[in-house]
Structure 1
Amino acid sequence: MTQHSHAHDHDLAHHHDIHAELPSDPALRVKALESLLTEKGLVDPAAIDAWIEI
């Protein structure tokens, strides 16, 4: 018997869930993503600000 990971199915479903929760306005979407990534500790808001100002 072979093992097959179905993680990709779950990842795809998770992607659709996140997409459905994002605002339709691009500026609001960016802010929502920045907030989410900051909350999870994946990005530093100061680093984002510095990168945008380049």
Structure 2
Amino acid sequence: MSELFKSYHKVFRIKSHFVFAIKYRKDLFLDNKYVETSKEAKKARQEESSLD
């Protein structure tokens, strides 16, 4: 069983943490190729980790 973390009024289990900073990369994601690659990578990670 995975380790549960406890805080003041909650108990939780973090499976994944995803940070997406786009401030200086806006032009990059105007190209559909990068958007599709990003979606595929996210989907592969989701299937790998069985996240919902």
User: Scaled by the length of structure 1, what TM-score is found?
Assistant: 0.34
User: Scaled by the length of structure 2, what TM-score is found?
Assistant: 0.35
- Structure 1 or 2: more strand by fraction: 2
Structure possessing the higher relative contact order (Cα contacts under 8 Å, 6 or more residues apart):
2
